[in-house]
Structures are given as structure tokens and as C-alpha cells.
Amino acid sequence: MSKITIAIDGYSSCGKSTLAKALAAHLGYAYADSGAMYRCVTLYAFKKGVIKDGSFLPEEIIKLLNEIKLGFEFNPITKSSDTFLNGENVEKEIRQMFVSETVSKISAIHEVRVHMIAIQRDLGKNKGIVMDGRDIGTNVFPNAELKLFMTADTDIRTQRRFDELTFKGQHVSFGEVRLNLIQRDHEDTHRKENPLIQASDAILLDNSDLSRDQQLEYVVNLIHKLSAYSQNK
């Protein structure tokens, strides 16, 4: 089968990145975490002192964009990609709560989205890529051969995120995590700039009751069906 583009969109903490990484490894494709890219912009703005007490001026964020160099490198220990910001591995830093609380607001800035989308499209120009985010199938790769829209029960997503943060040594309450997810859902679906919506040709995947292996098997079967259909056309 010829290489294709796989676009995965969906709500926060519903397992988009987990599935995308597993698919990329299974298919031998490149993987790009678009959410991590916006998190990098947010983290960099914090480090430069542009974000203070959760507040910022959009024009100050925009000024930083040309200083930011992003990259993804395979980690042989974790068997997944790590995110690099200006040559530094920031995979753990960008997952911290203070970044999560601000990233949706940063990603709503028009100039930030234009800049990130240009990088994302360049990464996928030769196909053979799996990318996850919130506007991949609707805006970044509208012609992707396979589009998925992922969701899961809010409490299940909260538990997953809570467990992830706790495992990483971050001290947060279940209530804090749940509130953060609800706020991000609202911001992502109501922002003016490319809001989170399900593409008309995307396949809905509710993984509330699915294991990681079951999700992967389901999507791999979809790809096989897509390949068979393409060959029979």
C-alpha cells in the first residue's frame, strides 16, 4: 500500500497521542504531535517571562515565534518520540499543569496557528505520517486519506490524565484535572480560529471502554480496508 496521511483529532486526554505513536510504530511512519508544538510555544513564552500569572499580550507571543525551533526524535527507551525545543528535550516540561492551563489560549492566536500549521504541513508533505491534534483533519490535512475523531467519557479522561501526572510526580487533585479538561474542551470547541470539530469524513472513535491494543487493532483494520478499497477502484 502506498503511504498515506493519517489525521487524528479529538478532545484532551482521550489517547490521541498514544494511538498515533502506536500507529506510527506499527506502520513505520513518522509521528508528529501537533499539541506538543503549541505546548512548546507556551513553555517558551513562560521562560521568556511573556506569560505572567496566566496573562499575556498576543503581540508579545507573536514576536517569539521566529526564535522557536521544534523537532521530534525517537526515544529508544520509551519507544516513542520526544519533543525538542531549540535543541532541548522538553517532553516532560511541556506536560506540566501550568502549561496545560494556558496552551489552549496560546493556540487560539491566529499568527501562532498559521506558523505552526506551516511547519506541520511541511512535515507531512511526503505522506507516511501520523499527526494528532485538534484541527488536523479539518485544516492541516483536509485531504488526509484516513481521519479519526477521538472522544471518551469525561471522568475516564480525567482519570487517565490524573494517573499520568501522578506517575510523573506532579501533585494535583482529581478535581483540578477534571476542571482543567472541561475548560480546555470549552476553549478548544469555541475558539474562533479553527475550533475542534469532527470533520465530515472522519471516523468517530470512542475509546472509553477500549484498551490500547483494541484501539490499535481497530484502526489497523480500517487501514487494511482502505487499502483494499483503493486497489479495487
pLDDT along the chain (233 residues), means of 10: 91 93 89 91 97 93 96 76 91 92 93 93 90 93 96 96 90 94 94 92 97 96 82 61
Q: For residue 214, give its domain range.
A: 5-232
> Could you give the CA distance from residue 191 to residue 25 in angstroms, rounded to a whole number?
33
Of the candidates 143, 144, 148, the one whose C-alpha atom is nearest the C-alpha of residue 221 is: 148
pLDDT, position 30: 85
The pLDDT value given to residue 168: 84
pLDDT score recorded for residue 14: 94
Q: Which CATH number covers residue 154?
A: 3.40.50.300
Q: What is the pLDDT of residue 78?
A: 73
Residue-level pLDDT at 123: 86
Degrees to nearest 5, angle at CA 31 with 93 and 125: 125
Helices (H), 150-198: 154-167, 174-190
Rounded to an integer, what distance in angstroms lies between the CA atom of residue 82 and that of residue 207?
Answer: 24
pTM of the model: 0.80
Cα separation, 138 vs 133, whole angstroms = 10
Domain count, the chain: 1
